[in-house]
């Protein structure tokens, strides 16, 4: 089974986010990027499928942030190929533009499965997988928490998560695109010694593509949320807390 994984870079929220002087973008001078958590789960699910049925795992990442480091780590975890995609743009791409680029690289029946995360800290809608599937005219299932290859080699059996802890088992025809919510197990850890060894020998391929017709949005202003008056702290026992809450709601005409 040949599997492609899309690996997206997102800002590390451990670091403070600052706006650059022009007020239209984040200040990237001290910004650290990491692999999106759900994309890390997509990579883990791909590696698990490879271990079960054989095949190849190839990881693709747009050239931004620390993408090269994430690709080297993917090789250290067991990926067979890592590709850094450069579209010649400095600003991040929206999902429509990214889907256009990846469709040109991954189409033509090269892969049985294309896996991507469903959410990122800067993309809560997780629309990339659906847009890519629509562009390639492939089946798409999202919020997947488990995927097994069927014995016929033409389908995969997946578990789709729903609110409240419910899940549905779906049979998806290959080739297909899956949006991974969580892998069957946590993403594997790569020891530093292993990573250093791979850094000396790993080859990250570089591919240049034409800028997409879907260009990034023109941001006119970026700003932090304005600070309000602050929270009202509730004190006392249960009855006193209930009285205070009722009083506050009444003052704001939220309670009749």
46: left (phi over 0), alpha (psi -120 to 50) or beta: alpha
- pTM reported for the whole predicted model: 0.84
Give the model's pLDDT for residue 215.
Answer: 63
Can you give the residue ranges of every domain in the chain? 2-208
Q: 49 CB contacts (<8 Å, ≥6 apart)?
A: 1, 3, 55, 113, 147, 148, 149
Task: Please say whether the beta carbons of 175 and 138 come within 8 A.
Answer: yes
CATH superfamily of 2-208: HUPs (3.40.50.620)
Instruction: Chunk the chain into consecutive blocks of 10 residues (it has 256) and report each block's average pLDDT, rounded to whole numbers.
Output: 96 85 83 93 97 96 93 97 90 86 94 94 86 96 93 90 92 96 95 92 93 74 81 89 92 84
């Amino acid at each position: 089974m040949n599997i492609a994984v899309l690996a997206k870079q997102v800002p590390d929220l451990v670091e403070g986010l600052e706006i650059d002087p022009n007020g239209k973008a984040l200040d990237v001078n001290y910004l650290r990027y990491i692999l999106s958590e759900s994309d890390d789960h997509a990579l883990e699910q791909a590696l698990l499928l490879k271990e079960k049925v054989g095949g190849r795992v190839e990881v693709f990442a747009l050239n931004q942030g620390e993408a090269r480091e994430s690709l080297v780590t993917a090789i250290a975890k067991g990926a067979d190929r890592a590709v850094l995609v450069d579209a010649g743009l400095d600003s991040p791409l929206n999902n429509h533009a990214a889907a256009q680029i990846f469709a040109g690289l991954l189409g033509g029946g090269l892969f049985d499965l294309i896996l991507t995360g469903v959410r990122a800290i800067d993309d809560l809608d997780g629309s990339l997988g659906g847009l890519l599937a629509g562009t390639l005219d492939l089946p798409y299932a999202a919020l997947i928490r488990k995927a097994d290859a069927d014995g016929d080699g033409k389908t995969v059996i997946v578990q789709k998560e729903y609110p409240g802890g419910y899940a549905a088992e779906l049979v998806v025809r290959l080739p297909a695109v899956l949006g991974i919510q969580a892998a069957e197990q946590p993403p594997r850890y790569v020891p530093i010694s292993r990573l250093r060894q791979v850094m000396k020998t790993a080859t990250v391929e570089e591919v240049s593509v034409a800028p997409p017709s879907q260009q990034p949005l023109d941001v006119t202003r970026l700003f932090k949320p304005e600070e309000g008056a602050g929270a009202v702290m509730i004190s006392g026992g249960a009855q006193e807390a209930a009285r205070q809450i009722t009083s506050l709601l009444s003052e704001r005409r939220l309670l009749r």
